[in-house]
Amino acid sequence: MENKNYLILLYYCYAEIEDPDAYREEHHLFCVENNIRGRIIISTEGLNGTVSGLREDCSKYMDYVKSDPRFAKTEFKVDHYHKHAFSKINVRFKEEIVHANLKNINPNIRTGVHLAPLEFKELKDREDVVLLDVRSNYEHELGRFKNALTLDIENFRDFSGKVKELEHLKNRKIVTYCTGGIKCEKASAYLLEQGFKNVYQLHGGIIKYGLEAGGEDFEGKCYVFDNRVAIDVNKVNPQVVSLCHICGTKSDRMVNCANQTCNLHVPICEDCGWKLEGACSEACRTNPEKRPYDGTGYYQKNSNGYNPYKGLNRKSLNQKV
């Protein structure tokens, strides 16, 4: 049994940031000084992050975020782990905290009704409810709620373009869900804007539902955006729904193709993994760019020359000396 001294935090907060550059700088510095790693996006509309660190560092980090009145309402989804779930820290400025092409939508003004995990559990099987998965293909193919409606999208920015296919559901009760809740803030707001009448969202997403409601009826694994790649959330009635890319048997082993010029990210079963030496096809197996296969299908990116201070101003670094 490994010691789970680390935490993995997932959070977002929609709140106006007038000085995103200055805030980005300050936030980045805090992470470096407290050994917080992960991916954080800062925009004029708020912040969105998934990070890892030692328990005590993460608790300092949560205090740091929430002590800023703009982000006081931030809710952290907290998972335990035995090591960092990221190898680097990245704090970036972007136009939106989740790329949705819905910049004009402000969930602080209007969004779908938030459902706590237990409320969601109660509602999800009702006759008049449509569960709408707003995530992308590679995510819902690996795992999704039983009876959920999924969309054929490669990226969340294609969501709004798909809503016209949902016209016939306009008078139904729509409950959206995603990984941690952030996409639903905008997705449900957009549905309301498009004239849908009864729109709800799973607050805190699949992750919080797993932590607080046992994950019942979530079938397959939940795709996550850290080194774990996919996690189990269902402690009640787990199942495998995804299929091996090669042989079609049920498998939830997400791997990257060993041929680094392909790098295809799909489930491949244990047997096929060894047979094709980690490649997704015979062509990839014999490709000169194929990396050696160690049975995991995970390839650490070359982090030689990684500098956590990269992206910071010399000025703010000097102030700290």
Q: Which residues are catalytic?
A: 178
Q: At which residue do the structure tokens 């932590």 appear? A: 211
Distance, CA of 151 to chain centre = 17
Task: Provide the minimum distance between the beta carbon of 305 and Zn ion in the complex, in angstroms, as a whole number.
Answer: 28
Residue 58 or 246: which CB sits closer to Zn ion?
A: 246
Beta pairing partners, 304: none
Scored b (16 or more CB within 10 A) or e, 78-93 reads bbebeebbbeebbbee
Residue 46 or 278: which CB sits closer to Zn ion?
A: 278
- Coil, strand or helix: which one is 87? coil
Task: Provide the minimum distance between the beta carbon of 280 and Zn ion in the complex, in angstroms, as a whole number.
Answer: 3
Distance CA 185, CA 115 (A): 12
Residue 9 or 258: which CB sits closer to Zn ion?
A: 258
Closest alpha carbon to 68 in 22, 113, 100: 22
Task: Provide the minimum distance between the beta carbon of 239 and Zn ion in the complex, in angstroms, as a whole number.
Answer: 18
Distance CA 192, CA 199 (A): 7
Contacts of 26 (CB under 8 A, 6+ apart): 316
Task: Provide the minimum distance between the beta carbon of 48 and Zn ion in the complex, in angstroms, as a whole number.
Answer: 31
Residue 151 or 268: which CB sits closer to Zn ion?
A: 268
Question: What type of residue sits at position 63?
Answer: D
Contact 135, 187 (CB under 8 A): no
Task: Provide the minimum distance between the beta carbon of 243 and Zn ion in the complex, in angstroms, as a whole number.
Answer: 8
Contact 116, 38 (CB under 8 A): no
Pairing mode, if any, of strands 254-256 and 265-267?
A: antiparallel
H or E element, residue 219: strand 218-220
Residue 7 or 266: which CB sits closer to Zn ion?
A: 266
* Binding site residues, Zn ion, CB under 5 A: 244, 246-247, 257, 259, 262, 264, 269, 272, 280, 284
